[in-house]
Amino acid sequence: MKADRLRPLWLVGLLLAGPLMAEDQRQLATLPPPAQETLRQEMLANLVALNEILGLVATDKIKEAGAVAEQQLGLSVQGRNRDKPFDARPGPYMPQAMRALGMEGHRAASEFAKAAQAGARDRALALMPSLTNACVSCHASWRIR
Interaction site with ligand HEC (CB under 6 A):
40, 43-44, 46-47, 50, 73, 98, 101-102, 105, 134-135, 138-139, 142-145
Cα distance between residue 135 and residue 33, in whole Å: 21
Number of H helices, E strands in the chain: 6, 2
Residue 64 neighbours by CB under 8 Å, 6+ apart: 56
Is 74 or 115 the residue whose CB approaches ligand HEC more closely?
Answer: 74
* Smallest gap from residue 36 Cβ to ligand HEC (A): 8
* Smallest gap from residue 117 Cβ to ligand HEC (A): 18
Is 12 or 44 the residue whose CB approaches ligand HEC more closely?
Answer: 44
Is 4 or 24 the residue whose CB approaches ligand HEC more closely?
Answer: 24
Query: Quick check: 143 and 96 in contact, CB under 8 A?
Result: no
* Smallest gap from residue 119 Cβ to ligand HEC (A): 23
Parallel, antiparallel or unpaired: strands 27-28 and 142-143: parallel
* Smallest gap from residue 83 Cβ to ligand HEC (A): 21
Is 62 or 102 the residue whose CB approaches ligand HEC more closely?
Answer: 102
The 3-state DSSP class for residue 123 equals helix
Residue 77 neighbours by CB under 8 Å, 6+ apart: 71, 106
